[in-house]
Each structure stands twice: as structure tokens, then as C-alpha cells.
Amino acid sequence: MEGVLLASLNPAAVAGGYDHPAAVRIGDDVLSRSDIVGGATAVAERIAGAERVAVLATPTASTVLAVVGALIAGVAVVPVPPDAGPVERDHILRDSGAQGWLGGAGEHTGGLPVVPVRLHARSWHTYREPVPDTTAFVLYTSGTTGPPKGVVLSRRAIAAGIDALVPAWQWSPNDTLVHGLPLFHVHGLVAGLLGALRVGSPFVHTGRPTPAAYAAAGGSLYFGVPTVWGRVVADPESARALSSARLLVSGSAALPVPVFDALRAQTGHAPVERYGTSETLLTISTRADGERRPGWVGLPVDGVTTRIVAEDGTPTPHDGESIGELQVRGPMLFDGYLNLPDATAAAWTGDGWFRTGDVAAIDTGGVHRIVGRASTDLIESGGYRIGAGEVEAVLLAHPAVDEVAVVGLPDDDLGQRVVAFVVGEPSDDLEAFVARELSIHKRPREIRHVDTLPRNAMGKVQKKQLS
């Protein structure tokens, strides 16, 4: 799909009658393709000539018009999480060099001029499609290892990333995509909103990703994070309503095997699991027409190659058990970290592979299993390298365990000891259960029961807060 980035919004085609009365639905607002083209072009006229603008990324029709308007004008979008604290927001605005603020004037705007986004404004001015290497987004990472970094993504990368998902998921204009995820990350914004606008499938944002909202949306393709799917299976009536869907996609964190199994039992659909980062977009996925194995994220999407390597850079065997750092290459990768040339250089190997910082295993058929982050999920204990994800999967299979996070804490004897933080009812047989499933060196030396696990906006557990 070459040419216009958001192909379904081609102004000539829309003007010629290729419209859709409900191309985007968010809450009570319904936008046709004509509404989006006219409203977004009105935004484009107000910001044309700027280099970057900040968009308060609330799940609203105004955000849709702001993002699309900037893309029409060739202006880079800096999505600002609506729940960002003042320190994080100030950092994003200052670091990005945003020249305008598209969002509510009453919000903390960092002194930037506020550009109003009017839902009923219309302009039919025609803009030339920006060249593919133009920056589309500066997405800020979650900042787990320091201040958030600005990930620079080009229009070319966005188009390649979406196009690679089309055959993997058999995504077509006949689908209706539904999700209730944030519009400031790759999952909800790029793959979700922009994916639908490029493919031409109607898009429904549920506001909040509740089971009832998902059930009522009537979609064929659903996106969710594990927390969302866990809530869906806890509401059997809503889960059964999704049986008419075509595909359920889970990402942004590992989907617990019990949730996978419950989704399959209640909806009739084994969910598709996929892997990606802000820097790589979605690069690995199980297929709509392929095997869907709990705990495994599938094969590289079209155009992507992967490898796993040991700490010394030597290849790790593809035996499904050996783990190493996951490295990737592909046309949808980012251009670098904004204002951070040293961090950008360090992110790449000398022979051109991006270091994801994630630990993975690959089996003999090329199917990938993500163990977790090297910084928090690779535990080195007593000379063994242990993947926290494997231990978590075993613990989650116990009926008394609702949630779990496994970390390596400092230990004078072992270097690190395996500690599990468990949400759920205490059980006398939990240690015996784990002992039947795991080798001695992988078993938690300590199990701590907690009320909740710290999570970010995408549902990912913040392990650095556990100690």
C-alpha cells in the first residue's frame, strides 16, 4: 500500500463518494471519512509550517482530528498522556520542542500557544502528501530507566508497520476494529487508530475498555492488553458476546495462560498474541491462520528478521528453552531517540540490529516466546540465567493466584534470589505446586502476598517498584 499514509482518507476519493458514515466512533461522537478529512484539514491549516505539536491524547474525537490534521500538514505529533504528572509533562514538552498545544486550554500547556480543535470546522484545502521520511510521531517511552525518551517514527515506518499486520491478521476494510486503549502508545494509536484509517476498516473506541463496552461494540477485530482480557473472562456474559468476532489480539504485556485458556473456552477464539515496542512497532505476531500457542508470540511479520544472542554476542540456539537478548531488523523501526545521539548509537549493534532489551527464546520452527526485559526479567541466580516469565506462567496456573510478578532481588550468596509477588488467596500447596513444575534453581526463594501490583497506563507491571 504505497502512497497516502491514511489511505481511506484520500481527499479525492472521499470527495468522489468513497465515504463511510461511521469511520470513527468514540463515545457519542461519530465521524464519517468526510468529517475527518474536513475537520482534520481545518486543523492542518492552523499548524502548517510547524515542526512539532503536542496533542493531549485523550480518547476523544478531538484527538483524532488533531492527530490526522498534523499528519496532513506534515507536522510531527507529540502525544501527551492525559494522566501524565506535571514533571513528566514538562519534560515531554521541553524535550520535544513542541511549538503548539492541541487540547483543552484549561490543561497544563507548558506555556505553549493553544490551537483549538473544533469538531464542526471544515476545510477542503488540498495538501501534498509529505515525503515518506518525514517524522510522523515523537512517542515518549515509559521512562522505566530514566526520563522518558522521545522515539522518532517516520511516515515510512508507520506505513510499513501497519502493512505488515494486514496479512498476519487478515485485516481488511470489512473489519470493524474495537479497543479502549490509550491513544498515546503504539498499540492504541498507531496499530489501532492509524491502522484502521490506513486499512479502511471502521474504528470504535470504547472510552474505557470495560467488558460490557467491548461486548456492545459489535466489532470483528478487538485489541486488548492482558488486564482487559482478564476482566473480560471474569464477565462470562460479555465474553460470550465476543464469540461473533473474527479475531482477538492481545499485547503490551504477557497474556497469562489461564486467561488465554478462558478466552478460548468462553469466546471460541484463541487470542492472537504479538510483540512490539515503541522503537520497533509490532514486529512479531501469531497469525490469524496459524498456530496460537499460549505464552508464545509467533513469527516475525513480513519484512522483519530477528535473532537472539548471549551476553558475549554469540548466537543463542533455537531450541525453545535457551534465552538471549532479542534483536530485530525491519522497515518499521524508528529513526532514533530525539536529542540523544549516544542512546541512539548504543541501541544498535555494529552490524545493524536493534537491541530491544528484551529476553526471548525461539523454537525450532522460529516461534518466539518473550521472557521479559533484560533489566528486570532476566535473573542471574547461583550461576543460572532464569527468565521471570517462565516462573510467572507456572504460578499463574495455580487457581489461588490472580496476578504475579517475579523479580530478582540482591542476595549475598546467590547474586540474585528469585522472589514472587503474588496477588490472590494464600494457599498452603503453592510451593509444592511450583516444585512439581520448575527446576530447583528456578523456584522462588520467597513468595510475598500483596494486594496489588504497580502498573503503568498500558497495564505493564512496574517491577522496579517491587523490593
In 103-232 the beta strands, taken as DSSP E runs, fall at 135-140, 150-154, 177-179, 203-205, 221-224
pTM of the model: 0.84
Does residue 66 contact residue 42 with C-beta atoms inside 8 Å? no
Does residue 136 contact residue 155 with C-beta atoms inside 8 Å? yes
Residues of the chain with pLDDT > 70, as a percent, come to: 96
pLDDT at residue 95 tops 90 = yes
Per-residue pLDDT tens for 154-192? 999 999 999 999 999 999 999 999 999 999 989 999 999
Per-residue pLDDT tens for 423-450? 988 888 898 888 888 878 888 999 999 9
Average pLDDT of every residue of the chain:
91
pLDDT band at 62; cut points 50, 70, 90: very high
> Of 185, 174, 261, which is closest to residue 223 (Cα–Cα)?
185
Mean pLDDT is lowest, of 70-79, 225-234, 346-355, 385-394, for: 385-394
Q: Which residue has the cell 511450583?
A: 434
Mean pLDDT of 257-286: 95
Which residues, including other chains, have CB under 8 Å from residue 46's CB and lie 6 or more apart?
69, 115, 116
Q: Using CA atoms, how far apart are residues 343 and 334, in angstroms rounded to an integer?
A: 13
**Residue type for position 171:** W
Per-residue pLDDT tens for 38-59? 999 999 999 999 999 999 999 9
Q: Among the CATH numbers 2.40.50.140, 3.40.50.12780, 2.60.60.20, 3.40.50.720, which is that of 7-199? A: 3.40.50.12780
Angle at 45 between CA 39 and CA 51, to 5 degrees: 115
> Of 438, 448, 442, 327, which is closest to residue 378 (Cα–Cα)?
442
pLDDT at residue 31 tops 90 = yes
pLDDT reported for residue 105: 65
pLDDT reported for residue 14: 75
Q: Put the strands of the sheet holding 281-285 in their side by side order.
A: 29-31, 24-26, 203-205, 177-179, 221-224, 247-250, 272-277, 281-285, 299-300
pLDDT at residue 131 tops 90 = yes
Q: Do domains 7-199 and 378-465 have the same CATH topology?
A: no
The H or E element spanning position 299 is: strand 299-300
Residues of the chain with pLDDT > 90, as a percent, come to: 66
Could you tell me which residue, 322 or 271, shows the higher pLDDT? 271
pLDDT reported for residue 226: 87
CA atoms within 13 A on the CB side of 368: 30
> Of 115, 84, 370, which is closest to residue 254 (Cα–Cα)?
370
Coil vs helix vs strand at 126: coil
Q: Which of 307-311, 429-433, 461-465 has the highest mean pLDDT?
A: 307-311
pLDDT band at 457; cut points 50, 70, 90: low
Q: Using CA atoms, how far apart are residues 81 and 88, in angstroms rounded to an integer?
A: 9
pLDDT at residue 103 tops 90 = no
Per-residue pLDDT tens for 109-119? 878 999 999 99
Instruction: Confirm or reject CATH 3.30.300.30 for domain 378-465, answering yes or no.
Output: yes
pLDDT at residue 107 tops 90 = no
Taking the domains of the chain in order of start, what are their residue ranges? Answer: 7-199, 378-465
